[in-house]
């Protein structure tokens, strides 16, 4: 596979509106060539009989089942609240909205 050229790097830099020095063009050309080579190697590994996946391992739900258990009544929960309204905690307004 032919490597990426300085001219191609300069063209990409112009498209990205980057000002690169001549020595940077050579440096980035080598780096981009390495990146393109790595992507090509990954493409070679992917085979037709391997289905595409979003995660390498199967995902399972690790949350417990949602079960109703005894808990406080609304009156018990609100018993220590400094202010309450319509069976809810009443808090000071902070955003100036209704």
Whether 28 contacts 34, CB under 8 Å: no
Q: What is the pLDDT along the chain (98 residues), one digit of tens a residue?
A: 468 899 999 999 999 999 999 999 999 999 999 999 898 888 777 677 777 778 888 888 778 888 999 999 999 999 999 999 999 999 988 887 66
CATH topology of domain 1-46: Histone, subunit A (1.10.20)
**pTM > 0.75:** no
Sketch the domain layout of the chain as residue ranges: 1-46
Cα dist from 76 to 55, 79, 90, whole Å? 45, 5, 15
């Amino acid at each position: 596979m032919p490597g990426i050229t300085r001219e191609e790097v300069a063209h990409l830099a112009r498209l990205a509106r980057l000002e690169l020095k001549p020595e940077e063009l050579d440096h980035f050309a080598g780096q981009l060539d390495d990146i393109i080579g790595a992507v090509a190697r990954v493409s070679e590994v992917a085979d037709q009989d391997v289905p595409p996946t979003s995660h390498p391992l199967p995902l399972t739900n690790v949350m417990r089942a949602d079960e109703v258990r005894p808990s406080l009544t609304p009156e018990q929960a609100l018993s220590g609240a400094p202010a309450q309204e319509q069976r809810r905690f009443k808090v000071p307004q902070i955003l100036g909205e209704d």
